[in-house]
Structure formats: structure tokens, C-alpha cells
Structure 1
Amino acid sequence: MNRLVCCIFFFFIHAYVISLAQDVRPFRQSAEPHEIASQLFSQGKYFEAIAYYERALEDPRNRANTELLYNLAECYRMNRLYQKATGFYQQVYDMNSSRYPLCLFWLARMKKNTENYKEAAEAFSSFAKTRKPGDPFFSEAQKESRICDSLAKNKIPADTSSPVLLPENINKGETSCFRGVISRDTLWFLSSTKEQIKEEIKLDNVTGSYKEYYVSRLYYTWKKNGAWQDPVMAEIPLENKKIHIASFFPDTLFHRWLITLCEEKNNDLHCYLCQSSSSKGNFTKPVPLESPVNKENSSSKDPMVSVLHDVPYLFFVSDRNPSKKYDIYYGKIEKDGKIKKVDPLPDAINTPREEHSPFYDAQKGILYFSSTGHDGLGEYDIFSVNGNPAVGWGKVKNMGAPVNSGADDYYYYVNSDQPAYSFALISSNRPTGKNQNYSTLCDHLFEYKNKTNIAPPVISTPAPALPPKTITLICFVMDEETKRPLYQDSIKIYEKSTHAFITSWYGEASNRAMFQLNRDSSYIIESSRKEYFPGFLALSVPSLRDTVVQPIYLKKIPLPPPAEVVSEKITPEAIPVPEKMIRTEASESDKNDWESLIARYGDVKKPYLHYRVQIGAYRKPNENIQAKMRLFSYLQNKLDILFSIETEGELKRYVTNRLETLNEANEYKQRIRTAGIHDAFIVPYYKGNRIKFKELEALLSEK
């Protein structure tokens, strides 16, 4: 089988001008091999040119032809034949480095792709010295030299849990195999196959014809007695045989498949997203998705659907931004399955170079993707980032070895919903041990079972000597039961050890709050909203992260039965009676001279000092639950008073939210007593602990 079959997926990624065919009939005998090779090379047909360049080198007179050698090295590089490209770049560099100034750069890149990081770092460093600042190759070489130097000094240890190549009935010989997805106990993947198409071509005055085209198609297989069965090609009707199925994803929510189709137009590869339905491996004709997913004069591909808090999102890749290459985009899927608006992920994820193959793990809140723009072990590496479109994203992390290698690694996929298939799938052209010179030409499917031990690579970055003193905390408030966002809620943050107030936020039209907090500190996050129990969360800010994303879930207060109507004023008979001990607390509080203290210190604020008004306390909180629900509903909806719950053993105390002055506390106490809760009383707190009246008086009198 001709090796051209391996090139297909690589061209989907890089979008080079290609001719996906093999078996070129003999050109006219008067044409020299190097003449044919040059014409193929000039038209971007790099793979086809290799055979003619190699034939030309059989003539001893051509072995000193640096142009021929350099072009052949370029052809090898374009087809990811790293080992062979390295040898020819080295020859050219040794023979005539001045004529081909980029030769050393590409030689360094090939050494990196073969994981020879020490020599790669030296070559990149040497190349950078030949360029001037401002030259894009200068900055790229400096960056690569730093990365390779770090990787050389922090050598990646051998890992017995390295990704395992799937069996040969899936990864067939020199056939590219990529994009694996598990759906309903079935493994779906893409692989190249042969289509018989006869078509004449003409290269200037040299004529020939292709009779076989290699295209990618969708296959599926399943396990029987623990072994993957021979794959079956899915029947998908296409407009013509030259169209490629470049990627796919089963959208189970809308009972459809999202499929990327690619075809050659105007000597370029154009890709677009379609939808199709299936039954037992037979698909309906793919129908292109409407704008804005597909956009005129641009490509869209690599679809993936994930449900985030009951809201379905489509992630995909597009080159619609003319100032960048391929970026990851996302859009909310409406109830009819359509997408009205799409947005790119932030620049911290989308680099000026290329991002591909997004996969979002909704259970863990992690986005996986491949990129050439972030620091990596090879060309395409797999990266992860915590967060989601609703609340924002954390810091991008390289997945490290053994997930990544010096070669291209992409299409990370894991199905955590199915324990029987709880391994990650990876597509990669890393060497497989077979035919080392050509094994990196093809992509293969690997499985990785030990996901929990993935260690990121040690890559030094040009960062300040000390990290920033603060981190960004992103909080978003959700309904505990429905997992939907809540709005019109408030968040307050206190220092944990002293309970000193730090900052607050109120979300009128947003459930997302952002704070700047000191590193290596601990905080209490208090969130409240009408009709919901308050939420408390202790948070320790890590020292090694720049962004922390923290959801806060609030539990809704159960509504009383419809027949029970809350009156404008709650009568004492309608209020659940607190225990005698608590009434004793209230009566003791009333004995103190609060009026005198409020008159003297009503507006005084002291560090670490705050107040709450106690509404009631119960050792059996589940008794008289309907009456309590009426009480809480009335306090929140009629009096606009939010409350908190303090637990001490079996005892639950219901108190108002934090109040900063005695005047505020007294005003709340009067409103609550007027409503019929005659036992409500003020409780002072210092550094988070309740204190007695005399202690409060002493604190307030201090100058």
C-alpha cells in the first residue's frame, strides 16, 4: 500500500494544498525525475514529490545538489518524516548553510520532534544568533531553545503506563487511524480508505493520471470476549467520493451526529460542519449546519457537544478570524438544536498559532485541546484547562508525558460515564516501533489507562522571580438541585482566622463574581439569596495557581403548601417555639443596657467586630417544619431579611446575615420583633466567636 494513505489526517490539520491520490501512471520518458519532482513541489504536492526526488538521488551527479537535497528535506518535514528530514537538513547545513538560512531552524525542529532536546536547544540557540530582534523566527527560536533546554535538563522518565497502541485490526499497517470516541459500548473512529477514481492531471508539459484516491471514512467496532472486533465502515451518503469525513461527534442530546466534511476547492481544503442521524451504522445524508457555525470563506471542524449545568454547548474549531489561524469557538445550543451565536475562547487558550480537537469533560469541568502555540514537548501537544464558558477559565496546563511526545498528539477523549471504557483515547503519530523511518507519517489510535498519574512536563517559563501577590477568584452561584445559575444573589468574603470583612459583591444580572485575593491565605465565602438557605464555604488559596474557579450551590427553601398563606404579620402562635434555654438567652440579653450602648456606639465600627440578630434556635429542626418555612419565607420575602444557620452539636441557631454596626443590628431586631418574633435579640461577634455584653462594652470603649 502506498504511504500516501497516511497523510490524510495531517492535511486536515495543516490544510496544505494536497492531491490525495496514488499510483501515478508513468510520465513521458523524456522527463527527468528531478524535473517532475520540482513541478510537484512547486504545486504543494510534497508527498508525491518524494518518490521522484529519491529517484533523482540515485544519480551520483545529483548528490551534491543542495537545492534538491533541501527540497527533499522540506518534503520529508511536510510529511512528518522527522528522522529522514533530519539527515538531509544536516547535509545541506554542512554543505551550504548560507544559501538556506532557515535550514538550521528546521534541523532544530526535527531534533525536537525526535525528542533529542539537548541538541535541539543548542541548534535553536545557534540559529537565534543569526537573526535580528523583530524577526519572527528570532523570537520563535529563543522560545524553542528555552523549552528544549528545560526538557533536556528535566529528562522525562520512562513510564510503564505509556499509551498502548490499539490492535492491528484497528490500526492497520500504514493506514492513518484517528479521532476515537466511545458511544454506547461502540468504538467509533476515522481511518483512511481507498476510492477508485480515474482522473487525468497535467503539470505544465508533463501529463499523467491518478486512478486511486485515499479518503477518510468513519468506522466502528465493539468488544467481544474482551477483544475488539474487525471494524465496519459506516454508510454515509456523500455528494462525491473525494469528500473526506474529517471529524465527528455523537450528539446524544439531540439524537444526531455532528460530522466534519472536507473537500478540495480552488486548490485548497475547505471543511464545514454537518448533522446526520443514524441507525445501525447507516446514516442519513449530512446536512450543513446554518450560520454562524459555518461561515462563508472559512472552515469549521472538530465538533464536540457537552452539557454544562443543563445547558448544551457546541465546541468546534474555525479559521474565520483572518488575523489568526485555527481557534476554538463555542456556542449555546437552543432547544431546536440550532446555535444563534458563537464566540472564541479567550486568548489565554487560543494562541496566534493553531488550536484543535477540543473535548470538554463536564463531570470534571476540564477542557482538553491540542495546540502548537503553547509550550510543548513536540509540535501538537495536548493541554487541559479548568473552567467553562459561563464562569471563565483557569490556567492552561500541558498534559505532559506520556500523553504527549515529541511528535503530534491530539484528539484526547475520555468517557467517564462508562466505567468499562474508562481509559483515555489519544491520536498520535509517535513512533510505534515499526519502520522507524516512516512510522511517524501515519496517525494511530492509542489508549491510556492510568490517567490519574499524568505529570506535566517541567518547562521553564520567562516569569518574574516572585509570583503575583494575588490570585483571581471566580465564584458563581448555582441552584443545588437544578444546577442552574442564580442571579440577584450576594457574596461576602471574610478572612478565616479573624473573620474580618474583605469584600462583597451583588449580582443583579450575573451569577459570576470575580475577586482579587492574597495568595497563601484562607477565607470564608458567604452567599445568600432570597428563597434560598445561605451558603458558606471555607477556601484556602493555593500558592501555585493564578486563577481559582469556585462554584457555590444554594439550597432552595421549601415552599409551604398553597393553602397556607403567610399573613402580613406573623402571630406568636404561628412561630415555632424555641427551647427554654434559648428563651433564657434572650431574657438575659434584654437585661443588659443595650439602649445606652447603642446611643453611645451605634455607628462605631471596630476591626473583627460584627453583629447578628438571633431569630430562633432548635434542637429538633425537623419538627414544625411547615411553620418554620412560613417564618423563613416571610422574613426573606416580606421583610427583606436574609439569614444564616449556625450549628452547635444538635442545636441549630437561625441568625441574620452579618451586620457591621449596632444601629444596623438594632434596626433589624426591631423589624423582626414587630413581625411577631418577640424573642429576637442582638448577638455580638469578635473574630468569628460570640462574645458577652460586657466584652462588647469593653471593646467599644477602647480608643
Structure 2
Amino acid sequence: MKKLKYIVPFILLFAFSFTVYAQKGNLEKGDYYFNKRMYKEAIESYKLALEEKLVFDKYKMTKRVAQTYKMLFDYENATIWYEKLAQFTDKNEPQYVFDYAQLLCNVEKYSEAKKYFKQYFDSLNQPAKFTQYEQACDWAIANQSKSKEIKVYKTNIETGSRSFGIAYFKDGLVYSKPQADEFNIKTVFYDLAYSARKDTAVFDSSSVLKGNLHYSFYEGTPSFSNDYKKIYYSGNSSEVVKYRDKKIKRKKIPLSSEGVNILHIYEANYSNGEWIKKGALSINNKEYDCVFPYISKDGSQLYFASNMPGGLGGYDLYVANKVSDTTWSEPKNLGATINSELDEMYPYVDNDTLYFSSKGKKGFGGADIYKSYLVNGEYVEAENLGKPYNSSKDDFSFIIKNEERSGYFSSNREGLTGYDYIYEFYIPEAPDTINGIALNKITSKPIKDIEVKLHKVDSNGVPQLIEEYLTDQTGKVQLILEKHVEFLVTFYHPGFDAQTFEIPAENRGDVIAKFGQLLFLPIPKKDDIIKIDNIYFDYNKSTIKEESYPVLDAIVEYLNVKSSISVELSAHTDSRGSDSYNMNLSKKRAKSVVDHLVGKGIAKARLTPKGYGETKLVNKCGNKVKCTEEEHQQNRRVELKVL
């Protein structure tokens, strides 16, 4: 897909040329096709030449086959032949060492690629430049096993092996359709066509856009105005299929000074059911390509790629402002945060985000898709979208509808022939993540070993178990819930009341709010003792402090729910102070707790106050034993015992 330059055939017509080819050897045929960038025909001729076992320059032959496979984006075969080329150490040119290193990245041999990148830059006496490529390989190694949770589907759209851009239109896509069905065996040209979407990754048969916007060779990279009344697209600058060199200037044939049929950006308007060609944009030039247009939603800016002089290298991305109906401003290079010394292409803008493909930034190999944000009028350093958007092959022509969380891109990631497919992707909504802590409602302590079961409710209303686990000593509960789906979650522990929550598919806010603290009431069993640490009294008094009221309220609720039980409420002190004083203080405090509960409506007959002083210490901190304040605190407590 890169460097889409197509030299116009010489004066010979195809029919006559075919007769001439028959008189030439397969090697010459291959060279003829290669020079005309007809790579499918070239590789077949080269294969036949190899079978003939003729005497030829092995280095030249190896180089031609390697280059042809590379131009066909058949990276696996290209790697094999570039490896053979690398054996010609006395003849091999530095550029082919660099190409081989890139191809090794295409087949995910990043460590080996570093070796050849180093060899290349050493040969140029630019060892510092190697660092950039070494870091890119290290980035690929570090990220090749990482992939986002994105659903990707290969569509049934027939690209004819080459995708030249896609754009949203009506209920489907406009893309470049091959003009002939023989695309698997020979070079074919492309027209813009529309195909309606029927289902996920399934499209109806396509139809070529009506009107006079078509060219003899290539049309691609469509971009529509917001009202779909204008289309901007790429096409060859000349319709001429034959010419003599001396006639180029005389007949004003729009070829470059090197005889290259340059790519230009064109505009067409929709009228009466047809697309009417308006012509080439003012930004074009016959000496360089302007390609891959994207028109902003308001129609005021055109983003595109060009290999015009003055760029960072290869194809750079530019933006031009609309001045009038027929003129555009001087293009502005988007700078080093976007562009590199290699190729950038296929810009697509969504609000303040620019998406594009690049071969010169940190990636997995080939062209990867990147995004950059517009901040204070400038685009910041671009970031790789990662897998599965990107692969070690070529990934490009990214478009997205963020409001629908879906979009499309093209890639030649599948198979060994460099075949471009169009893929549809869907970004699942981030699930609701619910975090909570299972707590004893009376003691506010975490509960270990609560059995948590998460069920997904199917379309028939039947819960299907999808996850279960036990809480650890922290009591942590975490539920990850897909959006727009109903769930049922149950909590069970033999020592606590079970709980069940129905989580609706929509409007979950109220239910989710309950999960901050999951409070569980203990199941009462005779002689069970519940230790309550957070009932506080004034110093050396039996007056209950206000911060104790929430705990006391929980006890009230517990006794109301478990209305058949009676309990002993005992108060305990640490060992500091006299035994008699501590006993007397604990009795008063136990009575204060009972009085508070009675004041809240609990029958006094169900409550037995008991003061134990320092007679039931829970540790070694008896009289005259030196202990920390934390150890003494363990002994100062109120306990609830089921009678």
C-alpha cells in the first residue's frame, strides 16, 4: 500500500505487447513487469525463469525476486529471499540490509532484526541512529503478548487483495473495488464502490458509485463531507495509457518529470443521484503525490499524506485550510510528533483525536495504527493503539464511530500472500466493577469464608452460575459485571444470615451503592459470644460516648430481627486499677448498655447485664505485667452472649 506510484505503460498496447513478450525470456518479462510495477505478473515470470535454470546473475535475480515479494507484501516469502540476498556480503547494498531488518519485524523476529538494523547503520557510520530501531524492536518484544479486549471480525468485502481506504456512507461503506475478477493472477485497477452492511462483518454485494468520478487506473481513500454531498478521493493524475517521451510536454500530459503517473486528490459533488467530478484540488503538484484525504466534519480542513519536498521523510501527514470553494491554504506539516523518516498515511479525525498509520514509529512491524490528541492547537506524541488493532503486518485505514463503539480498519495480517482484508471491530463497554467488604454488622469486622456466587440471568430468566469464590480475611468482594445484562449474586456463610441481590441490566446505581459495605447479621447460637470493641465510655465512667451509638443501633436491629433470643451483655476492663474498682466499673458499664437498649425498645427481660472487671482477660496482661496500650485495649470490651 505504500508509495503508490504507477508508471504509465509505453507506447505498446497490451495485445501487441503480449506478442512481443512471447519472444522474450521469462527473466526479461519479469523485469519488464517489475519496472511497470505489475508485481503479480513479475513474480510469475521470475518463477518460470528460476525453473528454466538458465545462466544469469544470481545476485540480480535474487534481488529482483526478493523485491517483488516485498512489493506484493508477501512478507514470509520476501523474508526468505532477503535472507538469501544477505548471503551476498560482498555485493549486497545497505538499503537491502535495512529492508531485511524490517521484514524480520514483519515475521516477529525482533531480536534478529536488531542485528541487521545495527549492520545497516554501522555501514552508514550512524551507530547512534541504531538506538531508535533497537528501542522499537524492544518495544515490540515487550508488547507483543499484550492485547486489548476488542472484538475483531473479518468482513466479507472483496478487496481484490488491496485495500485503498474505506469511508462511512449511508448504511455501509465506500471502498475501492477491483475492476476485474482476475486480481489473483494479474495487476488490476480499482473503482470506488458502495456496499450496505447487513450484519456484523457481513455486507451486501457492492455497486460502483454512479457518475463520472472514475479514472482508468486507481481511485481510493474516499472521504465524505458531513452531509455526504461531497467526496474527496485519490486518483492518478493522468488517464493516458500510452505516450512517447517527446509528446509529454507538447500534449501537456500530467506526468512527473520522471514520467510517473502521480496520485492527486480530487473532489466530486453529488447531484441527481450521480457523482459529478469537480476536479483536482489546488494543493496537488505534478512532481509529488497528494493522497489519503480526510475532510473535517465542518469541511474547513483537509488532512492528507504527501511525499512533497521538505518533509521528514517518505510520506508525511499535512493539513490544509479551505480558503474558498476552489482554493486551499499552503499545507502544514503535522510535525515530528506525528511524522517520521518513513511513511505516515490514512489520517482520520474524530473530534480532537487524530488516527493514522505509520511505518516509522514504535510498532510491531509494517504499518501500525496510532492516535494523537490535539492539545493547544498541536498534536501531541502519537501512541500505538496496540493489539488487536495492530499486528506485525500492515494495519491501516482506521475509521471509528465512538458513539457506537465500533469501526473498521484494513490489514494484511492473515495468510502468506499479503492479502488486504477489511475488518470490523467493536469495543465492549467497560464493565461495572463493584467492590465491597463483607462485615459483621455488630462488630464491623471483615468476615472470612463467605461464599460468593455470581449468576448471569439468561434470556429465559434462568440464572447461570459463572463465578464463585470465598472471601479472604479482608472480607473483600469484587464483582465484574457486563453491562446490559441481568445478574444474581448470593452470599452464604453458616454463621451469618444469607443475602441475595438482584442486579438489573440497566439503572444499577441503587444496587451498586449497597455494596460499599456488605453488612451481615450473625446467626444466634446458644453460648456464642460476640466481642464488641467499639463501644466507648467516658474516662473512668459508665457514660456511653456518642460515637458508640451506631454499634448499639446495630445490636438493636439484631435483637429485633432475632426476636426470640435473650442475651447477656457483659463489660470487661483491663488490669490497671484495683480489682474491686474494675469490677464495680464494669457492672455499671454493662447496666448502661442494657439501659440504652431498653430505651430503644428492647424488652428488659431479654437482657442480662454482667460486669466481669478484669477476671476474663484475653491475654497475659494481668496485674504488674508490663504491656502495651494496644494489649490493654484488647481487654477493654463489651461482649454479647446468646443465652
Q: C-alpha separation between the residues in 1 aligned to 2:413 and 2:272?
A: 33
- CA displacement, residues 99-153 of structure 1 (integer Å, 9 cap, x when unaligned): 2144543332211112222332334345545x2424xxx5665433332233224
The answer to whether structure 1 residue 282 and structure 2 residue 274 are counterparts is: yes
CA deviations 1:189-218 (Å, max 9, x no partner) are 12222399xxxxxxxxxxxxxx99722111
1:446 corresponds to 2:423: yes
Letter of the 2:264 counterpart: Y
Q: Using the TM superposition, give the Cα deviation of residue 69 of structure 1 relative to its aligned residue in structure 2, in angstroms.
A: 1.8
Pick one of 374, 379, 382 that aligns with 2:369. 382
Deviation at 1:28, TM superposition (A): 5.4
Tell me how large the CA RMSD over aligned residues is: 3.5
Evaluate the alpha carbon distance shift between residue 251 and residue 71 of structure 1 in structure 2; reply closer, same or farther with a 3 A threshold. same
Q: Partner of 1:230 in structure 2?
A: 205
Contact 2:408 2:424 in 1 (8 A): yes
Give the Cα–Cα distance (whole angstroms) in 1 for the partners of residues 23 and 318 of structure 2: 52
Structure 2 distance, partners of 1:39, 1:338, is: 40
CA deviation vs aligned residue, 1:602-658 (integer Å, no higher than 9, x gap): xxxxxxxxxxxxxxxxxxxxxxxxxxxxxxxxxxxxxxxxxxxxxxxxxxxxxxxxx
CA contact (8 A) 1:242 1:263 kept: no
- Are 1:269 and 2:261 matched, yes or no? yes
Residue matched to 2:332:
343
**Is 1:303 aligned with 2:293?**
yes
Contact 1:301 1:316 in 2 (8 A): yes
The reply to whether residue 313 of structure 1 matches residue 296 of structure 2 is no
1:249 to 223, 226, 245: 223
Q: Are 1:35 and 2:23 an aligned pair?
A: no
Residue identity in the other structure for 2:394: D
| Counterpart code for 1:262 | N
> Counterparts of 2:286 and 2:52 in 1: how far apart (Å)?
48
Q: Is the 8 A contact 1:178 1:444 kept in 2?
A: no
Q: Which residue of 2 aligns with 1:425?
A: 408
Whether the 8 Å CA contact 2:5–2:263 is kept in 1: the answer is: no
Can you list the C-alpha shifts for 1:246-276, whole angstroms capped at 9, x where unaligned? Answer: 2221112583222222245353131222222
Q: Secondary structure at the match of 2:101?
A: helix
The one-letter amino acid of 1:37's match is G
1:57: how far off? 0.8
Q: Please state how far the C-alpha of 1:35 moved relative to its aligned partner.
A: 3.1
Matching residue of 1:398: 384
| Pairing 1:650-661 to 2, within 5 Å after superposition | none
Q: Percent identity, aligned pairs only?
A: 20
Q: Which runs of 5+ in 2 are unaligned?
A: 239-254, 431-643
CA distance in 2, matches of 1:194, 1:399: 35
Deviation at residue 26 of structure 1 after TM alignment: 5.0
Asked if the contact 2:399/2:409 (under 8 Å) is kept, the reply is: yes
What is the alpha-carbon distance in structure 1 between the residues aligned to residue 267 and residue 349 of structure 2? 20
Structure 1 residue 90: Cα displacement: 1.9
Report deviation, 1:413.
0.6
Q: What are the superposed Cα offsets for residues 358-399 of structure 1, whole Å, 9 maximum, x if unpaired?
A: 11101xx111112223222222221111116x6222221111
8 Å contact from structure 1 (residues 193, 214) kept in 2: yes
> Residues 347 and 356 of structure 2 are in contact (CA less than 8 Å); yes or no, is this contact kept in structure 1?
yes
SS at match of 1:176: coil
* Deviation of the 1:223 alpha carbon: 3.1
Identify if the C-alpha distance between structure 1 residues 45 and 228 changes in structure 2 by more than 3 Å, giving closer, same or farther: closer
Residue-pair matches, total: 404
| Contact 1:326–1:354, Cα closer than 8 Å, also in 2 | yes
> What corresponds to 1:330 in structure 2?
319
SS at match of 1:437: coil
Residue 42 of structure 2 aligns to a residue whose secondary structure is helix
- Distance between the aligned counterparts of 1:97 and 1:275, measured in 2? 50
Cα gap change, 1:225 to 1:90, in 2 (>3 Å): closer
Query: Taking structure 1 as the reference length, what is the TM-score of the superposition?
Result: 0.51
> Given the alignment, which residue of 5, 28, 31 partners 1:15?
5
Question: For the Cα contact (< 8 Å) 2:154–2:421, is it kept in 1?
Answer: yes
State whether residues 383 and 397 of structure 1, in contact with CA within 8 Å, keep that contact through their aligned partners in structure 2: yes
Q: SS of the counterpart of 2:73? A: coil
**Equivalent residue, structure 2, for 1:260:** 234
* CA distance in 2: counterparts of 1:396 and 1:452, whole angstroms: 24
Counterpart CA distance in 1 for 2:172 and 2:372 is 28
Offset, 1:311: 8.0
Counterpart residue type for residue 316 of structure 1 = F
Change in Cα spacing, 1:84 to 1:151, as seen in structure 2 (3 Å) is: same
* CA deviation after TM superposition for structure 1 residue 230, in Å: 1.1
1:53 matched residue in structure 2: 46
Q: Which amino acid aligns with 2:92?
A: Y
Q: Distance in 2 between matches of 1:238 and 1:180?
A: 16
Offset of residue 73 of structure 1: 0.8
Instruction: Please tell me whether residue 372 in structure 1 is matched to residue 359 in structure 2.
Output: yes
Flag the structure with larger Rg: 2
Amino acid aligned to 1:437: L
Task: Confirm or deny: 8 A CA contact 2:411 2:421 kept in the other structure.
Answer: yes
Aligned-partner residue type, residue 65 of structure 1: K
The Cα offsets for residues 289-323 of structure 1, whole Å up to 9 and x where unpaired, read as 3x3x334533322222224xx78322222333345
Q: For 2:309 and 2:124, how far apart are their aligned partners in 1?
A: 29
Letter in 2 for 1:258: Y
Q: Classify 1:399/1:351 alpha carbon distance in 2 versus 1 (closer, same or farther; 3 Å).
A: same
Corresponding residue of 2:63: 70
Distance in 2 separating the partners of 1:52 and 1:219:
32
Matched residue type, 2:300: P
**Which residue of structure 2 lines up, in the alignment, with residue 613 of structure 1?**
none
Q: Deviations over 1:478-512 (max 9, x none)?
A: xxxxxxxxxxxxxxxxxxxxxxxxxxxxxxxxxxx
How far does residue 428 in structure 1 lie from its aligned partner after superposition? 1.7
CA distance in 2, matches of 1:221, 1:353: 33
- 2:51 match: secondary structure: coil
1:437 aligns with 2:416: yes
Which shows bigger deviation, 365-374 or 183-192? 183-192
Q: SS state of the match for residue 194, structure 1? A: coil
Looking at structure 2, the residues matched to 158 and 332 of structure 1 have their Cα atoms a distance apart, in angstroms, of 37
Deviation string 1:423-458 (CA, Å, 9 cap, x unpaired) is 121122222xxxx331x1x322111212779xxxxx
8 Å CA contact 2:149–2:427 kept in 1: the answer is no
Please name the residue that 2:603 is paired with.
none
Query: Deviation per CA, 1:149-182, whole angstroms, max 9, x where unpaired?
Result: 3322443246674632112xx125x442342222
Structure 2 counterpart of 1:270, which letter? I
Work out which of the residue numbers 86, 89, 92 in structure 2 matches 1:97.
89
Asked if the contact 1:182/1:415 (under 8 Å) is kept, the reply is: no
CA offset digits 1:308-347 (Å, max 9, x no partner)? xx78322222333345442222233357575345422233
Contact 2:212 2:277 in 1 (8 A): yes
Q: Please, which of 108, 114, 125 is the counterpart of residue 115 of structure 1?
A: 108
17 and 83 in structure 1: CA distance in 2 versus 1, 3 angstrom threshold: farther
Once the two structures are TM-superposed, the CA of residue 357 in structure 1 deviates from its matched residue by 1.2
The answer to whether the 8 A contact 1:371-1:382 is kept is yes
Give the secondary structure class of the aligned counterpart of 1:405.
coil
How many Å separate the matches in 2 of 1:320 and 1:125?
29
- Amino acid across the alignment from 1:330: V
Pairing of 1:490-505 with structure 2 (within 5 A) = none
Partner AA of 2:175 in structure 1: F
Q: Deviations over 1:523-546 (max 9, x none)?
A: xxxxxxxxxxxxxxxxxxxxxxxx
Contact persistence 1:423–1:447 (CA under 8 A): yes
The one-letter amino acid of 2:296's match is: S
For 2:206 and 2:272, locate their aligned partners in 1 and report how far apart those are by CA, in whole Å: 13
SS at 2:402 equivalent:
coil
